[in-house]
Structures are given as C-alpha cells and as structure tokens.
Amino acid sequence: MSRQIALLRGINVGGHNSFPKAKQLALAESLGYEDVSVLLQTGNIVFADPGTPPEETARVIHERIAAELGLTVPVIVRTGDELAAVVAANPFPQAVPEPKSLHVTFLSAVPADTSRLDALDPAAFAPDQYRLIGRELYLWCPGGIGRSKLADAVSRAPLGVTATARNWNTVTKLLALAAA
C-alpha cells in the first residue's frame, strides 16, 4: 500500500471551520484508509491507501467533509513519494536550520499563468525569496513570515489553483509519518 498525505486548507484557524483532530482521524478511517495519523489540528492526515490516485482521494475527502460537517474545505493530496520529492527539491537548504522561516505552498495543479508572480521584483523583497517548482511554491522569509512583504505579495498573485501552505517543520514531520 502507498502512503498519502491529505492537506486540508483553512480548518481550525482562528476559530473557523472547526474540525477537531479526533474527527479528522475518524473521517479518514470511515473512508477505509488504514494506519491513519493526524499531525496537529490544522488538517494534515497521513494514511495508507490501496493506490487511489491523489486527485480522487482529495475529491472523496472534500465531499465527505461537506456531507458530514457542512464545511467547504479544499483538500490537496500528495503521495509519500511526492512529498519526499518536495523535500529533496528544496531550493533553500540554508533555511533548514531555521525551519519556521521556510514554507511550502502546495498547489492543486501546475499554474497555467504565473505572470503576476513572475512580475515580482526579487530585489524589492530581499532577503526573502521564493521559487515555484512544479506544484510547489517555496517561500523563504529569514525575518519571519509575519513581517514578510514578499509573503503578502505572493499571496496576492493569483495562480488560479487551490493552494495550502505548511512550514518546513510540518512538511518534514509529515514526511517522517509517511515513511514510518
């Protein structure tokens, strides 16, 4: 069986879209997934799957959340191998010692139009940097994401796809769970 990681966007953030960890676990198990782990309260579910394509898994989880909880929660799914590739492709290895400064935004698809993102002047946001690699947008903010003007500018550059971000700590913990 392969491992998959479901990344739910916008749950349990600021009191909105309440979906406790225990309910996330129960939902995944009710869908027939085995060896389920939930990391944190913010929608990170790792499980064994018999080989369902990630896009189908995302659709099924999204629909079940809507049916059972009445919430519209975007879901992005990566396989364990895909997540390992995301970690290996990190264009900012210098950020690893400060993992809270590095974020990965997972995209539902490769963006067709990146012109607004490409139009950002990197020098205007130094030392913060970003790289779009396939379906992942890496964002390194050495001074912290909360004060980053680049993080704000990147979030306002519409890519036309569903997106959800995780910090590097969470990404590497999810990979460890997927590999276990």
Residue range 55-64, pLDDT digits in tens: 999 999 999 9
The tokens for 84 are 């390992």
Instruction: Name residue, tokens 């953030």.
Output: 13
pLDDT at 155: 85
Q: What is the residue-wise DSSP string for 111-130? A: -S--HHHHTS-GGGGTT-EE
**Where does residue 111 fall: left (phi above 0), alpha (psi -120 to 50 degrees), or beta otherwise?**
beta
CA 130, CA 150: separation in Å to the nearest integer?
8
pLDDT at 93: 93
Task: Output the pTM of the full model.
Answer: 0.92
For the chain, counts of helices (H) and of strands (E):
6, 8
Q: What dihedral do alpha carbons 22, 169, 117, 75 form, nearest 10°? A: -20
| Cβ(111)–Cβ(161) below 8 Å | yes
- Mean pLDDT over 45-67 rounds to 91
Residue range 138-162, pLDDT digits in tens: 999 999 888 899 988 888 888 889 9
Residue range 78-108, pLDDT digits in tens: 999 999 999 999 999 999 888 889 999 999 9
